[in-house]
Structure 1
Amino acid sequence: MKHLVLLCILAVTGLTTVAQVNYKTREEVPEKYKWNFDDIYTNWDAWEADLEAINQDMESIQAYKGKLGESADNLIALSQIQESLMKKAYKAYQFVSLQSTVDNRNMELQAKLQKVQLMFAQFGVETAWMSPEMLQIPEATMKEWIASNDELKVYQFDLMDMYRLQKHVLSEKMEQLMSYYSNVKSTPGKVFTALSTTDIEFPEIELSNGEKVKITPGGYSNVVTNNKNQDDRKAAYEAFYDLYYKNKNTYAAIYNGIVQSDWASARARKYPTCLDAALEGNAIPTDVYLNLINTVKQHTEPLQKYAKLRKKVLGLEKYYAFDGSISLVDFNKKYPYDEALDIVTASVLPLGKDYQAKLKTATSSGWLDVYENPGKRSGAFSSGVYGVHPYMLLNYDETLDYVFTLAHELGHTMHTTLSNETQPFATHNYTIFVAEVASTFNERLLLDYMMEKTNDPLERIALLNQTIRGIIGTFYAQTMFADYEYQVHTLAEQGRPINADILTNVWKELADTYYGDVSEETMYSGYAWTRIPHFYNSPFYVYQYATCFASSAKLYKDVTEGNKKDRRAAIERYITLLQSGGNDHPMEQLKKAGVDLSKPETILAVINQLDTLVDQLEEEINKLED
């Protein structure tokens, strides 16, 4: 096609390339690009001392069993001991876990990590009496104690929220019994991991150029993302999905075990549905979940418009799911880490100089582990250590995608920093429901900044495509996953069978609704459910990616549009949200910031944003012909 020929001609001009950083050992990585663990403990003796102190705290807690209702002083003492224990426990866990993350071949670290995990499990069993006993204190008495004792005010939110959830707390013996099943409940997820990683044998295929490639998840992703030969992409797709297709009945049995376990736990705690059990802890109305999946399902036109544009630009007679990742342009510019850091730092200036200064501190003080090294886990994350600072992992590869990942994870890091600086330990930990707001907000600021700074038509196309794919992956795909989980759990609640054929039919119907007839069907089209880890490891989790994206879209609109006074007020509300940690229910926190997720228009803001971006992408592509 004319578009494709023109893009290929332009793609070879005007690109800056830099060799990717590749370290053979961790020792080769400069210190300024590695985590500083001394900020947690300076040596293992200090770690061991905290473990011993934790065990002493556990013993001290037991002394208050049966005495919580006697006086406010007893409740204060117990709460303070528990807080002291948890501060040390999180530090002890993170000290080992983070080191293991960058050196997962170290069996000594693995053994120490297991030691801390067993300590957490023991704590759960030994404190099973606490919630039932606290609930024996009348709510009116608790309010009086809090009003009369400043030491309890810091725990007020959690203490009073306990009464809201009172009907779902069981007797002491039943709570202890439920705690015994915590490891059993996680077994199906572990079976999924073993089947999909440990025991799986990935096939090798030969590409059209004679190259042989092992189709691991990474190998598959590399082919469908970078190989311009559709037959090669098809071969990789078929080889990869055939593994899951052949085990479809096993995956169905595993997932059915998870769903039935969720339903059993929901009934045990007197919840009417699995969805209620998943949402009520954070006081999320089920209408928010249903509003999300129903509104998105009714507005899939931008998604289909983007797929049709891709088919046209790529010059494909038939368009398949495995064509969805190949780049629209040959844009291979590299962004050295220090250059990317300058770009991201500059992009957050709209949030104020104080925010920007804190970000500079985060990126220059041993908080980030930047480059890949042998034994380091893949991916990226940001994880807080209260009283220390967040630790942020990257495997930076100099691609545009990773520039956005850098901005994304720094959003999390800044959220944690602001929360920890402002909130006491009792309310520092924000919920997953708001966790992705700051990260996706930063990505949108980055798009604005980079679009403003470049006139390169290929870079502009790549930037728009990056953002569009982010919306599809974070908003549309996660909402589709959430709809799937809801439908399958509803089958369990109705006592209806769940098997491979039924799961595949649910998936196919959703895929048809979302993508229409743009994409061609294959024998593997309905089996993507077999390989999505969140289904097996964290049910009813993924919807929060979509609600966070909708929230950040609304907040971004408020911060960037309107008069100067309104924008300043919106920024203040947004920063307050980031500082609020877990001091209120997340829906209330978002409402204070100006977001109401129960309204369809909040969800439609993202859908309309995608529609506009697809139109803008098409305009940029058409300019290449001029």
Structure 2
Amino acid sequence: MNQFKRFFVFVLVAACTCVQSVAQVNYEKREDIPAKYKWNFSDIYANWEAWEADFKAISKDMEKIQSFKGKLGENSENLAEMLKIQEDLMKKAYKVYQFVSFQSTVDMRNMELQAKLQQVQILFSQFGVATAWISPEMIQIPESTMKEWVASNPALKDHKFDLLDMYRLQKHVLTEEMEQLMSFYSQVSGTAGKVFTALSTADIEFQEVELSDGKKVKVTPGVYSQIVTNNLNQEDRKKAYEALYDVYYKNKNAYAAIYQGVIESEWSNARARKYESCLDAKLEGNNIPKDVYLNLVNTVRENTAPVQKYVKLRKKVLGLEKYYGFDGSISLTDFNKNYPYDEAVDVVTESVLPLGKDYQEKLKVATSSGWLDVYENPGKRSGAFSAGVYGVHPYMLLNYNGTLDYVFTLAHELGHTMHTTLSNENQPFATHGYTIFVAEVASTFNERLLLDHMMKNTDNPKERIALLTQSIEGIIGTFFAQTMFADYEYQVHTMVEQGQPVNADILTKVWGDIANKYYGDVTEKTKYSNYPWTRIPHFYNSPYYVYQYATCFASSAKLYKDVTEGTKKEKKEALKRYTTLLQSGGNDFPMEQLKKAGVDLSKPETILAVINQLDQLVDQLAVELEKLEK
């Protein structure tokens, strides 16, 4: 893969590996936050002068790369030298981009930082066009010649996987002129997604409602989340739900047109590169069989009984005559314990001991060395993510608010951080970046470790119920819901590919048919029930992305079982395989990496294992709730 394309994939992963949460304001000024809870940017550059030097050096490296145009096929030395310069450039690119991006992340009101970030993005966009010649020229080197070069030139050793895999995708590489043309149009292909973002953020006008206590609130997504999570009055939750969804409902035709534009752009690109479908175009890069996607979608669609059983249990416990989708976030008990951050770090650190003391010690370094930005401050973006800087260390964003949900978010993001750390420590730059397809394995694995650890260390019935609910909601949100989204994407993309019409009514019907398979008649239908498709960002900004949350969850469930169950020898061998996975970066196709670790996603039983796990957790929750009643 062209290193610039790899970099843009990396930026996408950094942006998407996140958890959106409603955080409480803890500090009025960022300066008031103790240094140990803030990012240490000096690990990347000591000052802006050092940043500026690398920024300028990237342009010089680019000129050197251009000097190899027309010469890559002459000998292995030319190819190796060009790749060496390109690798040095990309190492700088990670640092140059993230030094600005991270500082902007915690101070989004700083227009000077925004200008610098735009400056970097423009530079990289220019490079994408300028390097369009590399892939077409490299593919002209005969495969037999490339194998000889890789075998005889040690400087090409680290690049072996990418260089030889290039020929598998040969039919999708275009001429230099066509590649350049595609680069030009790549800037336009994201326009529909940008329109969605503008319509859903900058131009959207949220409605105000009056709640039962007389308080008037404007129902933004954040306020809506707070109301449906904390307000015990069902009528208030209904008002908030109707106010929020009515905004999207009124713009349904605009959202349908935008989504049609997104898919048509995807389909145009897929056909230009000679793929049979948009899904093939998304999967073939990482050599993912289509059967894996379809196995996931079909298996889950036919096994939604545990989800419906959980909803019925909630309806009974909450004492509701009618149960709606907006009743799904209310706690089943009045448990609202606060978990101070330092205590949460201790709990998470203790929970990962089954992965070995070395892993635990590395995690301690991560939480005590300026890798984490912990608390919310004015101007800081919401949510949580972990993003690496090769040659430095990962940087992890939080907006910690003391809730149980955020304790799990801490464990989740530390899973990403440790995955990145182990990959970077054990892989050369050429293969350090792991794919999205395995990205959520380590994070969800750590969440399961945390659940078991906390369940073993509490006798508080309300906390046990909260923990089980947390885990159940995690499976439904990460596995079932994302598979439902994947099902929807596949059906709608297929319609566009077959030349069928797509409009708001059709999209709503597709959503409704799938929702009925998942929830049946256990939830009440409303005017807005089948319109969530209007407001799911992944559909518009990263099509065919969400299924990987589900496949990762299934993979981590299988790996967790292997590491924690069986004989001492079996667990030790399973842990070794899992650790190898975390250390392997992108040195092989992700399906092969998972198979080596003990997971085969092409088998329905791998998917069914998660479904059975949910079923057992719902039964366990029912037992705990019964104990509480007694």
- Aligned pair partner of 1:109 in 92, 113, 119: 113
- Counterpart CA distance in 1 for 2:628 and 2:271 is 59
What is the CA deviation profile of residues 567-596 of structure 1, one whole-angstrom value per residue up to 9, with x for unaligned ones? 000001000000000000000000000000
Q: Is the 8 A contact 1:507 1:529 kept in 2?
A: yes
1:395 aligns with 2:402: no
Q: Structure 2: how far apart are the matches of 1:294 and 1:39? A: 47
The answer to whether the aligner puts 1:505 opposite 2:506 as a matched pair is no
What is the TM-score of this pair, normalised by structure 2?
A: 0.96
Does residue 272 (structure 1) correspond to residue 254 (structure 2)? The answer is no
**Aligned pairs (5 A) from 1:153-232:** 153-232=157-236
- Deviation (angstroms), 1:183: 1.3
Q: 2:520 aligns with which of 516, 535, 540?
A: 516
Who is 2:15 aligned against? none
1:490 corresponds to which of 490, 494, 511: 494
Local SS of the residue matching 2:396: strand
Query: Quick check: 1:437–1:551 contact (8 Å CA) kept in 2?
Result: yes
Moved beyond 3 Å, runs of 4+: none
Question: What CA distance in whole angstroms lies between the structure 2 residues aligned with 1:123 and 1:579?
Answer: 30
* Cα deviation code 1:185-235 (max 9, x no counterpart): 111010000000000111111100111111001001110111000000000
CA distance in 1, matches of 2:564, 2:248: 45
**1:399-446, CA deviations, whole angstroms, 9 ceiling, x for partnerless residues?**
000000000000000000000000000000000000000000000000
Distance 2:126 2:214 in 1: 55
Post-superposition offset of 1:20: 7.1
Q: What CA distance in whole angstroms lies between the structure 1 residues aligned with 2:255 and 2:299?
A: 30
Alignment of 1:125-136 (within 5 A): 125-136=129-140
**Inter-CA distance 21–237: structure 2 relative to 1 (3 Å threshold):** closer
Match of 1:440 among 441, 444, 465: 444
Decide whether the 8 Å contact of 2:24 with 2:376 is kept in 1. no
**1:322 counterpart (313, 323, 326):** 326
Residues 405-420 of structure 1 correspond to what in structure 2 (within 5 A)?
Answer: 405-420=409-424
SS in 2 for 1:518: coil
User: Counterparts in 2 of 1:31-430, with a 5 A limit?
Assistant: 31-430=35-434
Amino acid aligned to 2:563: V
Q: Distance in 1 between matches of 2:140 and 2:246?
A: 56
* Structure 1 position 593 matched with structure 2 position 587: no
CA distance in 2, matches of 1:207, 1:618: 32
CA–CA distance in structure 2, aligned partners of residues 212 and 33 of structure 1: 35
**Residues 77-99 of structure 1: per-residue CA shift (max 9 Å, x gap):** 00000000000011100000000
- State the 1:52 CA deviation: 0.8
- What RMSD in Å do the two structures reach over aligned CA positions? 0.8
Q: How far did 1:247 drift?
A: 0.3
| Residue in structure 2 matched with residue 460 of structure 1 by the alignment | 464
Deviation at 1:382, TM superposition (A): 0.2
- Determine whether 1:470 maps to 2:474: yes
- Cα distance in 1, alignment partners of residues 218 and 463 from structure 2: 31
Q: Distance in 2 between matches of 1:478 and 1:261?
A: 23
Partner AA of 1:94 in structure 2:
Q
In 2, the alpha carbon distance for the partners of 1:625 and 1:534 equals: 41
CA distance in 1, matches of 2:609, 2:557: 7
1:534 to 529, 533, 538: 538
Match status 1:615 vs 2:619: yes
Amino acid at match of 1:59: E
Q: What SS class does the counterpart of residue 54 from structure 2 fall into?
A: helix
Q: Offset at 1:625? A: 2.2
**TM-aligned CA deviation for residue 22 of structure 1:** 1.3
1:21, 1:62 → 2: CA distance?
A: 49
Kept after mapping to 2: 8 A contact 1:485/1:539: yes
Q: How far 1:47 moved relative to its partner?
A: 0.6
Any conservation in 2 of the 1:574–1:593 contact (CA below 8 Å)?
yes
Is contact 1:436–1:548 with CA below 8 Å preserved after alignment? Answer: yes
3-state SS, counterpart of residue 69 of structure 1:
coil
- Secondary structure of the 2:586 match is coil
- What is the rounded CA distance, in whole Å, between the counterparts of 2:347 and 2:523 in structure 1? 36
Paired residues, number: 608
**Structure 2, unpaired ranges of 5+:** 1-22
Q: Which amino acid aligns with 1:277?
A: A
Report the AA paired with residue 439 of structure 2: A
CA contact (8 A) 2:348 2:450 kept: yes
The aligned counterpart of 2:576 is 572
Contact in 2 for aligned 1:20/1:398 (Cα 8 Å): no
- Same amino acid, percent of matched pairs: 77
Counterpart CA distance in 2 for 1:429 and 1:206 is: 49
- Cα distance in 2, alignment partners of residues 361 and 438 from structure 1: 18
Amino acid at match of 2:482: Q
8 Å CA contact 2:36–2:368 kept in 1: the answer is yes
What is the DSSP-based 3-state SS (H/G/I as helix, E as strand, rest coil) of the residue aligned with 1:164? Answer: coil
* CA positional deviation for 1:21: 7.1
Give the letter aligned to residue 353 of structure 1. Answer: K
